[in-house]
Amino acid sequence: MDLLKLTALELGRKIKDRDVSVREALEAVLAQARAVEPEINSYVTLDEEGALAQAEAVQEKIDRGELKGPLAGVPAAVKDNISIEGQLTTCSSRILSNYRPTFTAEAVKNLQREGAVVVGKTNMDEFAMGSTTETSCFGPTKNPHNLLYVPGGSSGGSCAAVAAQECWYALGSDTGGSIRQPSSFCGVVGLKPTYGTVSRYGLIAYGSSLDQIGPVAKDVADCAAILEAVASRDEKDSTSVERQDYDFTSALERDIKGMKIGIPRDYMGEGLDSEVADAIWRAARVLEERGAVLEEFDLSLVKYAIPAYYVIASAEASSNLERFDGVKYGYRGADCEGLHSMYKKTRSEGFGAEVKRRIMLGSFVLSSGYYDAYYLKALRTKALIKQAFDKAFETYDLILGPTAPTTAPKLGKSLQDPLKMYLGDIYTISVNLAGLPGMSVPVGKDSRGLPIGMQLIGNSFQEKKLIRAAYAYECATEKEYEAPADVRIGAGTKGRQDGDFRESISRAAGTENPASGREA
């Protein structure tokens, strides 16, 4: 039995039936990670010792009948901007290369209550600012389907880890498409819930009004079960919402007869790659054959979404990242003369180029004389975009379109032109501006063998409709997850040992040399 081919729910059933032990499952993904990490670079931290201890504790609880959930004992990964007590949480930035939180994020706690075994923390764009997972101080993550291409971002490490079978599922965060876009590029399923559904407590903020934690998995059923586990009202997060129904797995039905699905003409026209467009139309016809009613319509204000998003997100980022000054925690520049010198040197050395670019943009639009012209105007645009979606959902149950205008670009291409990289988020950022749920589902590959994702968008708190339509598509096409050929067990190991892997992590973070900075 090849454990790695199982979905999370399938593995959970086998663990519950005593066909597989938690330790056996964990050892399978650790072996896979050791085999492929030299090439893929999905993980920032692989916590083998801690994961083995978790596996033993979880197994005991399963044996005593204390853990009966569908995900009990299933190994998972967590994006490196989501806090876990005592474990390095770096946001893939040098400025937090030595930061160990004193608390655990509520979403991770919810998973742990269900018996999850956290394998490690996944690579990401620095402070979630990027669309390719190339701005990480730990180096870029590569797409498991083709190592010359990016996995997307900023949750590229989480999506690549699932695609490369280095975990059964992962948590990511989505500020402007950072779960859905890399899920599309890596050929996995990613779900961004309605804003407020999952607690943001313990998520290191990029844009507080936009950020949301969500699941990445091999199929729709896994995503539904993970969302069911992590979603909750949390008093520690003032933006979290008490929902009446958290039973997302009940939406795993094949019947979508009569469901009205709108396809925006704005999403299917200029700028969309022809192979992506063909795959989306084929997927749409599958849903139509299953009984859905499809209709094209005009979704206005799409062209204003990108400027509004980057003004708002950058403004919030400049405020949120102000706390990283070398005083209380994280990296501190050495040999500084005076407080202001220490601030300047710490931030100059600690932040990467993309983070600095967005901090400067955010500080500019919030500055006196420009606040009304840029920031307030962006907030008004955000409200108009939400109104446009509200009007659409008066007619349609769901909106269907591409997740990204192209498949994954080659490594190094996007960073040469940041504005072009920003335009790659055109289909995803509106969902965050409006606080809506969105989901990316694999619907094929292009001529280079790179995955294509279809995005489904629902009205607020209508995740069940997303899950139902996505599940119906999977069932109709008999989709079964297949690992990329590049990442089979044994590829590229060359005798690399655990100690070598951990050393490479320390070296990438710049923490092995005390002279490079010290813990504040």
Task: Return the active site residues.
Answer: 79, 154, 178
Q: How far apart are CA 147 and CA 166, in angstroms?
A: 16
Specify the residue for token string 């998995």.
Answer: 217
Q: Which ranges of 273-396 would DSSP assign to H, the alpha helix? A: 274-289, 305-320, 339-350, 353-365, 377-393
Cross-strand pairs, 102:
none
Tokens of 494: 């060359």
The total of other beta-carbon atoms located within 10 Å of residue 335's CB is: 8
Nearest to 97 by CA among 73, 120, 126: 126
Tokens matching residue 307? 């400027």
- Residue 68, number of CB atoms within 10 A of its CB: 11
Mark 290-305 as b/e (b = at least 16 C-beta within 10 Å): bebebeeeebebbebb
**Backbone φ, ψ for residue 336 (5° rounding):** -100, 145
Where does 366-426 have alpha helices with state H?
A: 377-393, 418-423
**How many helices, marked H, and strands, marked E, lie in the chain?**
16, 13
Q: Write the CB contacts of 90 (distance below 8 Å, at least 6 apart in sequence).
A: 44, 80, 96, 97, 99, 121, 137, 138, 509
Query: How far is 164 from 202, CA to CA, in rounded Å?
Result: 27
Contact by Cβ (8 Å): 125, 133: yes
